[in-house]
């Protein structure tokens, strides 16, 4: 573990924390989430991928592999809003904001020149946005529409900017 990229934590969110996974991707972290996954498989997956588990399920923290530190895990207090969950993780682990990933699949985003998306981008987005990205995972075309602006406002508050 010398290269700094190897030190960027990667996460696996439990079945209740899909929203948190999406927000972690928005601040640039690789956060896996699988709908309906049970604790046993979640722990196994996290161990084989070297991911840190984020969970609000107290039972998970009773498992030996978690107790003995074989699998890293952070308990997320229950009843926090999604944004509070994100703030909790950021504060506890001292996370910095990184370039956004695709909120849907967690893939990395690559810049796409605007002139190449004339036919693909919706007319409104094409008129109002100058930057476009392509998710390297699901290949979706992304831009900073009104939905993203709301997210951006919340994130800016979170990182004190
Ligand atoms: Zn994607």
What CATH number should be reported for the domain holding residue 57? 3.40.50
Q: Is the pTM of this model over 0.85?
A: yes
136 CA from centroid of ligand 1 (Å): 7
7 CA from centroid of ligand 1 (Å): 23
57 CA from centroid of ligand 1 (Å): 27
Residues 122 and 149 in one domain: yes
Average predicted confidence (pLDDT) for the chain = 92
Report whether 93 contacts 9 (CB < 8 A): yes
Residues 77 and 114 in one domain: no
| Residue-level pLDDT at 160 | 74
Residues 80 and 118 in one domain: no
> CA-CA distance, 79 to 88, in Å (whole number)?
12
| Residue-level pLDDT at 147 | 85
Residues 31 and 76 in one domain: yes
92 CA from centroid of ligand 1 (Å): 27
Residues 81 and 130 in one domain: no
33 CA from centroid of ligand 1 (Å): 13
Segments forming the whole domain that contains residue 17: 9-93
Residues 85 and 37 in one domain: yes
Q: Can you tell me the mean pLDDT for 123-136?
A: 95
Q: Transcribe the chain into DSSP letters.
A: --SGGGGS--EEE-TT-HHHHHHHHHTT--EEE-TT--HHHHHHHHHHHTPEEEE--GGGGGSHHHHTTSS-EEEPPTT--HHHHHHHHHHHHTPPP---B-TTT--BEEEE-GGGGTTTS-HHHHHH-S-EEEETTT--EE---HHHHHHHHHHHHHTT-
Going by their DSSP bridges, the two strands 73-75 and 31-33 should be labelled as: unpaired
The number of folded domains in the chain is: 2
> CA-CA distance, 16 to 55, in Å (whole number)?
8
138 CA from centroid of ligand 1 (Å): 4
146 CA from centroid of ligand 1 (Å): 19
Bridge partners for 142 per DSSP: 133
Report whether 103 contacts 26 (CB < 8 A): yes
For 84, half-sphere exposure in the C-beta direction (CA atoms, 13 angstrom radius) is 6
Q: Specify if 25 maps to a domain.
A: yes
Banded model confidence at residue 26, pLDDT cuts 50, 70, 90: very high
Q: Which of 69, 93, 117 is the last residue of a domain?
A: 93
Q: Specify if 99 maps to a domain.
A: no
65 CA from centroid of ligand 1 (Å): 31
Residues 72 and 118 in one domain: no
Cα–Cα distance list, 160 to 87, 97, 129, 144 (Å): 11, 11, 25, 20
| Residue-level pLDDT at 3 | 41
Q: Can you tell me the mean pLDDT for 120-126?
A: 94
> CA-CA distance, 109 to 92, in Å (whole number)?
26
């Amino acid at each position: 573990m010398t290269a700094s990229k190897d030190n960027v934590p990667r996460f696996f969110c439990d079945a209740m924390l899909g929203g948190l996974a999406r927000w972690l991707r928005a601040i640039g972290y690789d956060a896996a989430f699988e709908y309906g996954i049970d604790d046993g498989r979640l722990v196994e997956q996290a161990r084989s991928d070297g991911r840190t588990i984020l969970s609000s399920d107290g039972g998970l923290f009773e498992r030996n592999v978690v107790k003995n530190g074989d699998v890293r895990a952070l308990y997320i207090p229950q009843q926090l809003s999604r944004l509070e969950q994100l703030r909790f993780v950021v504060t506890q682990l001292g996370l910095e904001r990184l370039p956004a990933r695709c909120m849907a699949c967690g893939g990395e985003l690559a810049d796409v020149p605007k002139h190449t998306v004339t036919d693909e981008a919706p007319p409104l987005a094409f008129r109002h946005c100058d930057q476009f990205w392509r998710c390297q995972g699901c290949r979706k075309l992304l831009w900073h529409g009104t939905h993203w602006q709301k997210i951006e406002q919340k994130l800016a508050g979170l990182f004190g900017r």
